[in-house]
Amino acid sequence: MKTSFQLILLLLVLQAYKKQPTESQSISLPKEVKFKMGDNMDWANQSYNDSDWEIKSLGKSWATTEVAENVYAWYRIKIMIPFKTDSAKKTEKRNSSKPKIIAHRGAWKKLNLPQNSIASLRQAIKLKFYGSEFDVRMTTDDSLIINHDPTFFDMEIEKSTYAELIEHKLSNGEKLPTLREYILSGIHKNKKTKLICEIKPSGISKERSLLIAQKAHQQIQRLKAQDKVIYISFSYAVLKKIIELDPNASTQYLGGDVSPEQLKIDGISGLDYQISKIKNRSEWLYSAKENKITLNAWTVNKVEDMDWVIQNSFDFITTDEPEFFMEKLKNY
């Protein structure tokens, strides 16, 4: 028996200029969309909460032999269609707000400083970047230290004591900094630069990840640095723990797999997604602005990516090339 389907594609968001373009343009639809069997005109409402809908890939059939005749199904898609002439693009470029620069693991690259070192942090503060990002891990004796990788000189940080780790020095002679030392240096004579604290989840257990979050938050509170700190993490549970401890904390999720609508529901302030992931979820750009979720992207090291971030009015840009992009932004 031949099955008949009616698919209703809702393009819910069109952000357009008043002038229509004189040249042809194209736009890519997102690869994944919200999907639900059935038919309800309430689903056409832009503010309708579709967080419990299935995620489907465009271009793949959802038909099955069990589906009856004349079944309705809806797709919900949010896209932005920037109808811009060349002159409109130039005008927008002049008027668009510029993203704030976050130095990824400090301002280390130009001066060949160790990443996540106090020297790279102080350089970011000296250059007055909006933020300097760093990574927090915990040793086996519960010391909070600053290091990106789970190992240091081939030693597993979570299975090593702090005393064992500091037998080795960073390339500039610094010892591996503790969170306390790092925060104290970060708030010293620093009126501008935020401390972007990435809490690395434990490889041992979720419970240990939450303990790291709790201990990091306590240390930052004791040093009265809470107004200087933005918490980020790939662990959603870690960020929810931070919010439980301080509902006013500024937080950004790194994972790239949660919608702005859900972030808002869970009290998370912003998304900080890998540039390639957020480019593939263009519908989330409008949704973030609609839900007052800040936009950040990592790690943006190419000029074309910076241009895309600026054109889409991101709030922040996280980069290994903060000096280069600071100069580029001056002329943008």
**Cα angle at 312 between 310 and 317, to 5 degrees?**
50
Tell me which of 266 and 69 has the higher pLDDT. Answer: 266
- What is the chain's alpha carbon radius of gyration, rounded to the nearest angstrom? 23
| Per-residue confidence (pLDDT) for residue 69, from 0 to 100 | 60
Q: Show the tokens assigned to 146.
A: 């600053």
Q: Are 162 and 175 in contact (CB under 8 A)?
A: no
| Per-residue confidence (pLDDT) for residue 289, from 0 to 100 | 94
Please state the rounded mean pLDDT for residues 134-161.
98
Helix (H) or strand (E) holding 310: helix 303-311
pLDDT digits (tens, 9 = 90+) for 151-186: 999 999 999 999 999 999 999 999 999 999 999 999
Please state the rounded mean pLDDT for residues 22-30.
60
| Per-residue confidence (pLDDT) for residue 146, from 0 to 100 | 98
Domains (range + CATH), the chain: 5-88 (no CATH), 96-330 (3.20.20.190)
Please state the rounded mean pLDDT for residues 281-303.
95
pLDDT for residue 4 is more than 50: no
Select the highest-mean-pLDDT range: 6-10, 26-30, 38-42, 160-164: 160-164
| Per-residue confidence (pLDDT) for residue 73, from 0 to 100 | 85
pTM score above 0.85: no
pLDDT for residue 268 is more than 80: yes
Report the distance separating Cα 190 and Cα 225, nearest Å: 11
B/e letters for 233-249, b = 16+ CB within 10 Å, e = fewer, are bbbbebbbbbbeeeeeb
